[in-house]
Amino acid sequence: DVPVIVDFYANWCGPCRMLAPVLEKVALAYDGQVKIVKVNVDDEAELASQFSVSSIPTLAFIVSGEVVGQASGVASERDLSGVI
């Protein structure tokens, strides 16, 4: 029903840990307007492969079941707000 941001991460990834609080702020700011889900690439390697994740963190932006964009690296709250 709402756009989804998929966060592909790993527990050992420093930039992934830097992105986590940013995603939490965005989730609170856009509660009900966007859903943020996390996928651990170590646990879900096949799913990461399906999304062509080659580096982490990678964010996939999904609208109506279709991937409409993807970004790698640490993003700011402002960057994500612009995408949303």
Active-site residues, by number, are: 13, 16
**Diameter over CA atoms, the chain:** 32
Sheet containing 58-63, strands listed edge to edge, beginning at the edge strand earlier in sequence: 35-40, 4-9, 58-63, 66-72
